[in-house]
Amino acid sequence: MEIINKLIDKSALATLIERFTKSGKEVFAPVKSKGISEFARVETIQDIDFETIATKQSAKSLVFPKVEKILSYEKTFDDVIVNNVDYTQFPEVIAFGNRPCDAAGFIPLDAIFAGELVDEIFKARLEKLTVISISCKKADDYCFCTSVNGGPGNTTGSDILLTETTADEYFVEIVTEKGKAILDANTDLFKDTAAIDKTPFLAKLEQQFTQEVINEKLNGIFESDIWDKQAMRCVGCGACAFVCPACGCFDIQDETKGKNGVRHRCWDSCGFKIFTLHTSGHNPREKQAQRWRQRIYHKFSYQPEQQKLFGCVGCGRCSRACPSDMNIAEHLKEIAVL
Amino acid sequence: MEDIKKLARELLADNKVQLVLGFENGTANRVRPAFFTTPEAVDKLIYNEFCIQNIALYLKKDICQHAASLAITANPNVVRSILQLAAENQIKEEKIKIIGITHEGKCVGLLDFKAAEEFSKTQPKGLKDEDKALIEKIQAMSLEEKFDYWVEAFSPCIKCYACRASCPMCYCGKCNVESNNPQWIPVAPHKYGNMEWHMMRAMHLAGRCINCGECNRSCPVDIPLNILSYMLSDFVLEEFESEAGLSAVFTPALSSYTMVDKENFIK
Ligand code: SF4
Ligand code: SF4
Ligand code: SF4
Ligand code: SF4
């Protein structure tokens, strides 16, 4: 669909959010609590944190929660009765005020969960999700979206993108049919406009490398000692993967009590030692450096090969969350000039 | 800082150590752990008020395990960690040179274990005012309120295990949460899964935690789980007159029994 350009002023935006909540849609937006900004359910525009560059965790939990029940089961005398969760009943969710990188993150997740094999639960959540992003006025030392084909005003993955042009007004880009449905239902709130050059209203962020160069360089450095060097201070936690909008690894856990049980899906990380531990005791990724290498190869080599896209949107969350200041952009830059 | 660098350079130049574990500049105004193997590399070594990550953690990692001898820039938290690791037979005195640094950032030179014990006594654990306030607040709660407080506090936990991975005393090769036969602790980060994980961790650290606060600093969702360990430290001190991180010879309260042990906490 061709992008439709509109304007919306801030009071109309407040009304739009109220209409969402009144009509039973769940609105999730960055909310600051105890100094930390995270996506949380909001009722009005006043609840929303517009300032923080990036929430600590990404918006992925809206489609891929940290833990979710996928089925329950019951053993009978000679059978097992399985009850799938009713994924037709998920609520309509609006992601509001997320950054363009968050929106872009839904695309690699979609490729993981709904590529060749379709995960119905994930798909149902994604179908019920409308993404209304806000362009970035500021970037920080961890952001590198412009190095991975994104940008502070990038529309990829968003249904609607808002760019603040004056203290009272946003330039609106309606990107998808889902976005258009919102426009059509609320035409009174939007004003007409011609396309606007967003550049003056966006953060300036220098490109440090290209993902294509990383992809090329990865051919042939699998055995390089760079992985040992880079991963030396990595402590092997799951923080980077768990805050990442594009990381989709999960673990399936059955919790049984007597004859009944529940099957959960929960986040997992390739940074953990037991992620690849075999029952025999053998671990193909025994050292942290091998796990770090996997993280980079998966995002910049295996995903491009298998899914024709990259698994990193340059949000910098992994670097911000890392207890040992493993800065992924810095590491990628190092690889780019090898 | 210059005296720390000079010491580190000399140790490497004289082949007294193969590796110096310290800090270098990181992203923006952050600092990061760094490993120095040549006197020239030490140019990049820094020490300032931001160097608070408890790098004693790395003593149990491959890079330090493989070094025949090493030095470490050690603030009071790191010194206490080393003493406790030594007490638990995890590190030998002949392998490690401790470059002692006070809370104020003053280098006191190399410390052997005996000197480190003295140093630890004069550099008491520095709990932050907000930590003390939170401890007081929780202590004033009833048992039910305490339980509810912690259920709530642990609810945002995503089980990234950054707290465990960053804690110098969480060095087990296989953590209890990794056991799946039997499965002691639920893997899922739901209410009970989180509560059981944190209760298990707190119990395994009871009287062993050296109160550095690293678990809290590394937590991406800022859970004050260090407070639980601090409170257990106080409890163990009160009930068993035992305090971690003060001596390289130490019998943990949890794995010993004496005739004077009180049992009045069993209710
Ligand atoms: S890179 Fe950082 S966040 Fe990721 S596993 Fe290593 S220490 Fe943890
Ligand atoms: S790898 Fe890091 S920078 Fe890239 S999308 Fe994930 S969290 Fe963001
Ligand atoms: S404060 Fe936390 S990180 Fe430090 S020793 Fe205690 S439990 Fe470990
Ligand atoms: S670091 Fe925080 S979120 Fe991660 S497991 Fe520990 S308490 Fe949970």
DSSP A64: S
Residues with Cβ < 8 Å from B184, sequence gap 6 or more? Answer: B176, B177, B200
Tokens at A248, concatenated = 């989709």
A216 and chain B in contact, CB less than 8 A: no
| Own/partner pairs, B187-193, CB within 8 angstroms, 24+ separation | B187/A251, B187/A253, B187/A264, B187/A266, B187/B159, B188/A67, B188/A253, B188/A255, B188/A264, B188/A266, B188/B159, B189/A66, B189/A67, B189/A266, B189/A267, B189/B157, B189/B158, B189/B159, B190/A67, B190/A264, B191/B151, B191/B155, B193/A67, B193/B159
Instruction: Give how far A49 is from chain B: nearest CA, Å.
Output: 17
C-alpha B28, offset from chain centre? 25
Three-point CA angle A240, A241, A242, nearest 5°: 95
Interface of A with B in 235-294 (CB under 8 A): 235-239, 241-243, 251, 253, 255, 264, 266-267, 269, 272-274, 287-288
B252 with B233: CB under 8 angstroms?
Answer: no
Of the pLDDT bands very low, low, confident and very high (cuts 50, 70, 90), residue B267 is low
Tokens at B17, concatenated = 């150590």
CA dist A292 and A326 (Å) reads 10
B163 with B198: CB under 8 angstroms?
Answer: no
- Please, what are the averages of pLDDT over each run of 10 residues along chain A (338 residues)? 96 98 97 95 97 96 97 95 94 97 97 94 97 98 96 98 97 98 98 96 97 95 96 96 98 94 97 92 94 97 94 98 97 95
Chain B residues within an 8 Å CB radius of A236? 165
pLDDT tens by residue, A241-282: 999 999 999 999 999 999 999 999 999 999 999 999 999 999
Query: What are the beta bridge partners of residue B99?
Result: B73, B110
Tokens at B103, concatenated = 């809370």
Contact yes or no for B27 and A325 at CB 8 A: yes
CA dist A54 and A37 (Å) reads 8
Contact yes or no for B35 and A238 at CB 8 A: no
pLDDT tens by residue, B17-35: 999 999 999 999 899 999 9
Tokens at A216, concatenated = 């090329």
Average pLDDT over residues B220-241: 93
What backbone phi and psi angles, to 5 degrees, belong to B64? -85, -35
Q: Over B110-171, what HEC string results?
A: EECHHHHHHHHHHCCCCCCHHHHHHHHHHHCCCHHHHHHHHHHHHCCCCCCCHHHHHCCCCC
Contact yes or no for A325 and B32 at CB 8 A: yes
Q: In 10 A of CB B125, how many CB atoms?
A: 20
Tokens at B241, concatenated = 């007159």
Residues with Cβ < 8 Å from A144, sequence gap 6 or more? Answer: A205, A208, A314, A316, A329, A332
- Read off the amino acid at residue B204: H
CA dist B188 and A325 (Å) reads 27
pLDDT of residue B265 exceeding 70, the answer is: no
DSSP B58: G
Three-point CA angle B205, B210, B215, nearest 5°: 70
pLDDT of residue B252 exceeding 90, the answer is: no
Contact yes or no for A56 and B221 at CB 8 A: yes
pLDDT of residue B189 exceeding 70, the answer is: yes
A315 and chain B in contact, CB less than 8 A: no
Sheet holding A160-166, edge to edge: A36-42, A26-33, A93-98, A129-134, A160-166, A169-174, A4-9, A191-192
Residue with tokens 């330090």: B64
Closest CA to B246 of B125, B101, B108, B99: B125
Residue with tokens 């029952």: A279
Closest CA to A296 of A214, A212, A235: A214
For B63, the closest of A232, A243, A325 (CB atoms) is A232
What backbone phi and psi angles, to 5 degrees, belong to A328? -65, -35
Secondary structure E strands in chain A? 4-9, 26-33, 36-42, 67-75, 80-84, 93-98, 129-134, 160-166, 169-174, 191-192, 250-257, 260-267
CA dist B230 and B136 (Å) reads 12
Q: Is A316 in the pocket of ligand 2 (CB under 6 A)?
A: yes
What distances in angstroms separate CA A94 from CA A20, A24, A42, A51, B24, one per listed residue? 8, 11, 10, 19, 43
A266 with B159: CB under 8 angstroms?
Answer: yes
Chain A residues within an 8 Å CB radius of B189? 66-67, 266-267
Can you give the C-alpha Rg of chain B in angstroms?
19
pLDDT of residue B239 exceeding 90, the answer is: no
Tokens at A330, concatenated = 């810095």
What distances in angstroms separate CA A293 from CA A109, A223, A227, A288, one per listed residue? 20, 10, 6, 9
A211 with A300: CB under 8 angstroms?
Answer: yes
Angle between helices A120-127 and A100-113 (to 10 degrees): 150
User: Looking at residue B258, what is its pLDDT?
Assistant: 81
What is the pTM assigned to this prediction? 0.95
pLDDT tens by residue, B84-129: 999 999 999 999 999 999 999 999 999 999 999 999 999 988 788 9
Percent of chain B past pLDDT 90, that is, above it, reads 85
Indicate whether this complex's ipTM tops 0.85: yes
A67 and chain B in contact, CB less than 8 A: yes
Kindly give the pairing relationship between strand B70-74 and strand B19-25. Answer: parallel
Q: Is A62 in the pocket of ligand 1 (CB under 6 A)?
A: no
Burial class (CB in 10 A: 0-12, 13-18, 19+), A142: buried
